[in-house]
A and B are shown apart, each in its own frame.
Chain A
Amino acid sequence: MRAVTWTGINQLSVEDVPEPQLLNDHDVILKVTRTTTCGSDLHLLSGYIPFMRAGDVIGHEFMGEVVEVGKGVRDRRVGDRVVVASFVSCGACWYCHHELYSLCDNSNPNPGITEGLWGQAIGGCLGYSHAVGGYAGSHAEYMRVPFADVGSFVVPDGVPDDRALFASDAASTAFTGVDLAGVQPGDTVAVWGAGAVGQMAARLSSIVGAERVFVVDRFPERLAQARTHAGAETIDYTTTDVAAELREHTGGRGPDVCIEAVGMEAHSPGPQGAYDAVKQQLRLQTDRPSAVREAIMACRKGGSVFTLGVFAAMVDKFPLGAVMNKGLTLRGAQVHGPRYIPRLLELMDRGELVTEHLATHVLPLEEAPRGYELFKEKADGCVRAVFTPHG
């Protein structure tokens, strides 16, 4: 079959690879119908997550049709149209029982790597490096989905593919942040990053009752989408002082909840951005945390800051004093997909959550390298490149 492989830093290829097989009783094989780029893939591409092997198939946000079912699978059938959670969860460990699915004890076959990095291993993630399992990814014609009863969800007939696709990771990641950050009715929420996850975090904040939502970015077309599709007020951080804007709009308090949806390659104008870039290139810090710093400083006293963007390891000049002295709650998580995907599909079915506008570039799989180039450079208004492996 054809698949998109990582072949080196900033190098992708589309090549022939063997088809996946059922390996465990709880597996299904999926015919992939839609699979999309994710901002976190760019960290793999850029070489900031050094556990990629040449030839690895990438991609973790996808949907498709079940074509083969393992003998231990109870709820999936051949022919089901499903969307799949990006993280793999066994459904049987203490973490899965407590809906902390991305922390699954049994789904990362390479626990030694992340135990060394973080003190504990997290769950496995499809198509996202050997640090989280080394699973083959979804940018392929076919895909093995382990523990399919836990991580795959039948899409209601009324939800089109280009909407359901984003329940897989972008919208479920956003819901993880909105829920665990504790967004309440009446809150003011600020979201850093107007990519798909940031836009979904803004929209879902409104759905759970936030009174005002601000989205911070620098790309006009993304900010326009946040206004149009998420109903957010927007701030271009390259033209104004974000914290001052937020104070001005919140009676001097600052937002109740600040959600960071940028991650380890944050851009920042001025000397702070240059400082972070140099230190990251010299590997004196692994991540550029400028959006997190700003969120912490902007948040109201006693408020909540949530890191949704992907970070790898160590950052420098972290305002821990502000976290402590302002009484902030600082929390982060990878996506707990199965906790939120069913509710997202309901919202999508009722038309309360639309995502089709995110798929700015729909391309055949063979054009994936060009799709990633557009996505990485934010060229031609690209928000997400979506690939259709079967046309």
Chain B
Amino acid sequence: MANSLLSRAADAGGALLGRLQSVRLPGVGTASAKDDPATAARRWRAVTVLADPGRLTELPAPLAALGDRVETRVIPAPGDKGTELAARYRGPATDEDIGRLRQALREAKQLVEVGEVLRMDPRPHGERAQTPGGRLLDGAVAASRREGVL
């Protein structure tokens, strides 16, 4: 029972972070209308990479791994900002699909700009108390590479 509760807390943490991106409270966030899920799923998602467009002729591995389901667009960014690398699904996409695309775009940018993807584990830490609040945060952290406004 306790394990089940902790597991549900972690799942809730990930879900909560996902919802945070679209929350609309009075006085918080934007005043604009909100995309319906189908429109949101079809939006181009983009990172700007500080590199010449030629560096992106061949798609970085994390993005290439998504295969033909994804279409990409590479255009020079205005000013001195490098290259805009955008991608979206050709067909319907789930929240999980979109999360994978966000992570792939972020990792692609890192690979081109710094040559490697930041690793975090194992990292030193003390005893992790297994509380619902702690597992909620674990779930949010685990989801955070795949969440965000990207």
Q: Which residues of B contact A72 (CB under 8 A)?
A: 115-116
Q: Contacts A23-B119, A94-B50, A110-B145 hold; do A15 and B17 have CB atoms under 8 A apart?
A: no
Chain B, 106-150, CB within 8 A of any chain A CB:
106, 109-110, 113-116, 118-129, 131, 134, 137-138, 140-141, 143-150
Nearest A residue to B141 by beta-carbon distance?
A: A130
Q: Contacts A112-B146, A116-B20 hold; do A17 and B126 have CB atoms under 8 A apart?
A: yes
Task: From B80, B116, B123, B147, give the contact of A144 (CB < 8 A).
Answer: B123
Nearest A residue to B150 by beta-carbon distance?
A: A115
Task: From B81, B124, B148, give the contact of A1 (CB < 8 A).
Answer: B124
B48: interface (CB < 8 Å): yes
Q: Contacts A20-B124, A106-B109 hold; do A25 and B116 have CB atoms under 8 A apart?
A: yes
CA distance A23 to B80 in the complex (A): 32
CA distance A187 to B2 in the complex (A): 62
The number of residues on chain B lying at the interface, defined by a beta carbon within 8 Å of a beta carbon of chain A, is: 46
A69: interface (CB < 8 Å): no
B94: interface (CB < 8 Å): no
How far in angstroms is the closest Cβ of chain A from B3?
Answer: 18
Chain A, 1-41, CB within 8 A of any chain B CB:
1, 3, 5, 7-8, 13, 15-21, 23-26
Q: How many A-B residue pairs have CB under 8 A?
A: 150
A183: interface (CB < 8 Å): no
Task: Classify chain A: how many residues form its interface, as a range.
Answer: 35 or more
How far in angstroms is the closest Cβ of chain A from B57?
Answer: 19
Contact (Cβ within 8 A) B115 A25: yes
CA distance A135 to B47 in the complex (A): 24
Indicate the member of B27, B116, B124 with the most A CB atoms within 10 Å: B124
Task: From A26, A136, A147, A314, give the contact of B123 (CB < 8 A).
Answer: A136
A140: interface (CB < 8 Å): yes
Task: From A8, A109, A121, A314, give the contact of B120 (CB < 8 A).
Answer: A109
Contact (Cβ within 8 A) A24 B144: no
B28: interface (CB < 8 Å): yes
CA distance A94 to B131 in the complex (A): 40
Contact (Cβ within 8 A) A94 B147: no
Contact (Cβ within 8 A) B119 A53: no
Q: Which residues of B contact A113 (CB under 8 A)?
A: 17, 140-141, 144, 147
Contact (Cβ within 8 A) A17 B124: yes
Q: Which residues of A contact B128 (CB under 8 A)?
A: 53-55
Task: From A15, A93, A111, give the contact of B127 (CB < 8 A).
Answer: A15
How far in angstroms is the closest Cβ of chain B from A387?
Answer: 16
Q: Which residues of A contact B110 (CB under 8 A)?
A: 90, 106
Task: From A54, A91, A146, give the contact of B129 (CB < 8 A).
Answer: A54
CA distance A116 to B30 in the complex (A): 12
Contact (Cβ within 8 A) B145 A112: yes
How far in angstroms is the closest Cβ of chain A from B47?
Answer: 8
Binary contact readout A310-340 vs B (1 if CB under 8 angstroms, 0 otherwise) = 0000100000000000000000000000000
Of all A-B residue pairs in the complex, the 8 with the closest CB atoms, nearest first, are A112-B147, A115-B148, A112-B144, A5-B126, A116-B20, A110-B144, A55-B126, A112-B148
Interface, chain B (partner A; CB < 8 A): 17, 20-21, 23, 27-28, 47-48, 50, 80-82, 102, 106, 109-110, 113-116, 118-129, 131, 134, 137-138, 140-141, 143-150
Interface, chain A (partner B; CB < 8 A): 1, 3, 5, 7-8, 13, 15-21, 23-26, 50-57, 72, 90-94, 97, 105-107, 109-113, 115-117, 119-121, 130, 133-136, 140, 144, 146-147, 314
22 contacts between A and B (CB under 8 A): A1-B124, A3-B124, A7-B126, A15-B127, A18-B122, A23-B119, A51-B137, A53-B141, A54-B128, A55-B127, A57-B124, A94-B80, A106-B113, A112-B145, A115-B150, A116-B149, A130-B137, A130-B140, A134-B120, A136-B123, A136-B125, A140-B124
